[in-house]
Chains A and B, each alone.
Chain A
Amino acid sequence: MHNFDFVKPASLDEAVKALSAEGAQALSGGQTLMPTMKQRLAAPDVLVSLTGIAALKGVSGRAGASVTVGAATPHAVVAAEARAFYPALAALAGGIGDPAVRNRGTIGGSLANNDPAACYPAAVLASGATITTSRRDIAADDYFQGLFSTALEEGEIITGVTFPIPQKAAYVKFNQPASRFALTGVFVAKYADGVRVAVTGASNNGVFRWSDAEAALSADFSAGALAGLTVDDSEMIADLHGSAAYRANLVKVLTGRAVAAA
């Protein structure tokens, strides 16, 4: 990969300042960015590591209300420490990649990158979570803007994510067996005011809400409630791992499994 200047600030203010440099790029766990740089698909002039900022790490919450995850918290820590507050979120974090990846990769990095097959965007969107940055709070419904696109502005750093805790929830993913990304993954969350269903891995437009299923499940929270629904496959990803129709079918099957598991 091309060389760069490496800086590791100890505070958010210093990180914001460092990121204002020409060609600067934030680095969290690096589990996606580093392979991207090795392929020279990214070549920042300055890499600003966020993992030395204590304020960006940790899990805190109030049982039954909400849980907040610091942006630079590795998946393994979320898997262990969010379990008491939000078991479905902890289970999702514990199923990302493999153990070594989970010790480095972070929620902030995953959300900033917004890979169309990443797991975290499904949890964030299905939970109607709030993404807090160095500048503002962003609702999940406003944050995800398509493939690798988000509401983040130049130099804006995610500091944490706050999840309202649902009554019931589950995430079920169908692994792409080599990469362990979601070939399709569905997160279902049932709140007092209705059900939210978010799908990752399936659409050319990135993570999305399946509104027909949300309406059906809000009226009747059972896998059977999905029986009459169909999933439009016109926007689905088609590649050597699965056709668009295959992924559309997975969306429905996995939503049913998630409801049954919730």
Chain B
Amino acid sequence: MTKVSMTVNGKAVSAEAEGRTLLSAYLREGLGLTGTHVGCDTSQCGACVVHVDGKAVKSCTVFAMDVAGASVTTIEGMANPDGSLGVIQQAFQDHHGLQCGFCTPGMVMSSAALLAANPHPTEAEVRHGLEGNICRCTGYHNIVKAVLAASGQTVAAE
């Protein structure tokens, strides 16, 4: 085991890791940040998406040691400083963008990366941008609505 250090949600952190320790395991087991979910562990479902130096990645398919020293943002870093929900999180609540909620951390992180690169996406761009995130409740329509709403666009009511 080796001490691996990085910045997570703005704070300098370190935890023990082996070579094979995945970033998802480092966050969840090493740091206790269990908001990052592991769905498939095969890089298909996207529940584990976090940002590494501002880029969305699947944390189950990145070694913790490979991103030592990086700046990582997880779902725990998405709320406002006063603890209230961030804009994207609030939009997911307002538009019923989650059912069981398991995929939601990854959906929010992928949505945040999408909106950072493209602040006013079309519906098609949202769907394309969330291609790597699977919701097995199949609640995609409301997720897409939530992302469009978070970008400041008017979305049709139910």
Contact = CB atoms under 8 A, between A and B. Distances in A.
Contact of B66 (A27, A99, A100, A179): A27
B129 interface: yes
A101 B132 contact: yes
Given A101-B132, A178-B44, A34 B18 contact: no
Given A30-B66, A99-B56, 13 more contacts: A8-B66, A35-B42, A49-B63, A99-B113, A99-B114, A100-B46, A100-B49, A100-B110, A100-B132, A101-B43, A103-B56, A104-B58, A178-B44
A34 B19 CA distance: 12
B20 A30 contact: no
A261 to B, nearest CB: 18
A249 interface: no
Interface string A4-24: 111010000000000000000
A203 interface: no
B37 to A, nearest CB: 14
Given A35-B42, A99-B131, A103-B55, A6 B62 contact: no
Given A100-B110, A101-B43, A101-B132, A30 B19 contact: no
Contacts of A6: 19, 63, 65-66
Counting contact residues on chain B (CB < 8 A from A), the size range is: 20 to 34
Contacts of B52: 103
Given A35-B42, A98-B46, A100-B58, A30 B132 contact: no
B128 to A, nearest CB: 8
A180 B132 CA distance: 9
A97 B62 contact: no
A4 B19 CA distance: 6
Contacts of B20: 1-4, 37
Contacts of B133: 98
A3 B66 contact: no
Contacts of A27: 63, 66
A3 B19 contact: yes
B8 interface: no
A47 interface: yes
